[in-house]
A = this chain, B = another copy of it.
């Protein structure tokens, strides 16, 4: 937190990569953060949390690409203490594959007394129980590019060569102004810092409202990484950021274009069916005692509108490009009934 009351995100990560051409065995390299690990089905476990927007990206991409069978999934509980995310949702409070209660233990297995944030998403090497990478911005891109040989038939190309520059450009603005912009509003501790953050956020949302008025997706005419990165913030907006983070010029439900775009994605396999509003709300309202000292979790908003027709088909677009939609969510990974408007239905 800077002296001006502005929120500044700690952006230091373990930046090893898992690549298709890395030598088997491994890892290879001189220093943590610069090592490469080989793509290898069944070797890695993705530690995520339904609550976390940065982790949500990875869960969406893993499902869209059909990597569920080759990269397993550990889901941390929505609330955590100062030290770590924990596996409180698992029997005995222990992740059944990694055998740990605190995600911190996987960080310590890699770097003893690891001093930085214990964040999700993190990819963990199952044999050693050590974190390979928590570089959220890279994990999804590597799922797309490095794991091709193990993706499902019909997996979409979320990071197509022809559009990478534009995806990167849009994603950069979405990251600094929207994904992080909501936190800049919510964690501001001075009125001036908040006011400036609010202006930045709404400038960006107005830009998106205009950009998406004439195109179904952010870049090109298919779902790409750019949409995956915007969605976790948009879907949390009315439930959390609007009130808890004071991003309250309008609800997304009051912005016709973004609301239709959000419903379109929500109703697309991989998006709504990986969204858990109960855990999302618990996380923010219970963990951030500096903003919500009572830890009371709001009952609203009413979410029924998420299932209403969005009409975005009229803009054209080919959601999956030359690919196909993913099949049903594996039974062990379904969002619990009642945790989103789809869950408990066939589509959930």
What is the interface of chain A, defined by CB distance below 8 A to chain B? 188-191, 194-195, 198, 242-244, 246-251, 253-254, 290-302
Contacts and interface: CB of A to CB of B under 8 A. Distances in A.
Contacts of A294: 188-189, 290-291
Nearest to A243: B243
Contacts of A292: 291
A102 to B, nearest CB: 25
A246 B300 contact: yes
Contact of A250 (B198, B244, B301): B301
B250 A298 contact: no
B290 A249 contact: no
Given A251-B251, A254-B253, A194 B246 contact: no
A298 B189 contact: no
Given A250-B302, A254-B253, A302-B250, A188 B242 contact: no
A248 B253 contact: no
Contacts of A293: 290-291, 293
Given A242-B243, A243-B242, A243-B243, A190 B248 contact: no
Contact of A301 (B188, B249, B301): B249
A292 B186 CA distance: 11
Identical subunits present: 2
A32 to B, nearest CB: 37
Nearest first, the 4 A-B pairs at minimum CB distance are A248-B300, A243-B243, A249-B300, A246-B298
A194 B296 contact: yes
Contact of A296 (B191, B254, B300, B302): B191
A296 B249 contact: no
Given A246-B296, A291-B293, 17 more contacts: A189-B296, A190-B296, A191-B295, A195-B299, A198-B299, A198-B300, A242-B248, A243-B246, A243-B248, A248-B300, A249-B301, A249-B302, A250-B301, A250-B302, A253-B254, A291-B292, A291-B294
Contact of A298 (B248, B251, B297, B301): B248
Contact of A249 (B191, B194, B295, B299): B299
Given A189-B294, A291-B294, A294-B291, A300 B250 contact: yes
A68 to B, nearest CB: 34
A61 B37 CA distance: 74
Contacts of A242: 243, 248
Contacts of A298: 198, 246, 248
A246 B242 CA distance: 11
